[in-house]
Amino acid sequence: MAKVLYFSYDGLLDPLGQSQIVPYVSAISAAGHYVTIFSYEKVERTKEQIKLMEIKLQKLKLLQLVLRLSFAQKLEIKLG
């Protein structure tokens, strides 16, 4: 079993997240791997929408860490 860390600049509540990202990481999880998702959800998403997505992901045995994104923020990730 591998541990997978998945970063998505697109939020899981966005159309792309719903149609491609969630099914993709679900398949990885179903193969027996532990998946943690960092997703950047847009600020206009409500807490209720995010909570419903968290419940859906829990049923799929996925862990999501939500980061709020405003277009004024600069995405900067340093590895190593």
What pLDDT, on the 0 to 100 scale, is given for residue 72? 47
The helix/strand count (H/E) of the chain reads as 3, 3
What pLDDT, on the 0 to 100 scale, is given for residue 79? 59
Domain limits at 37? 3-46+59-67
17: in domain: yes
pTM over 0.85: no
Tokens of 15: 């159309």
73: in domain: no
pLDDT in tens, the chain (80 residues): 898 989 888 889 999 999 999 999 999 999 999 888 888 888 888 889 988 988 888 888 887 777 766 554 555 555 55
- Per DSSP, helices labelled H in 1-80 are 15-16, 22-30, 47-59
31: in domain: yes
38: in domain: yes
37: in domain: yes
12: in domain: yes
Structural domains counted in the chain: 1
What pLDDT, on the 0 to 100 scale, is given for residue 41? 85
3-8, strands of its sheet edge to edge: 3-8, 34-42, 63-69
What pLDDT, on the 0 to 100 scale, is given for residue 8? 86
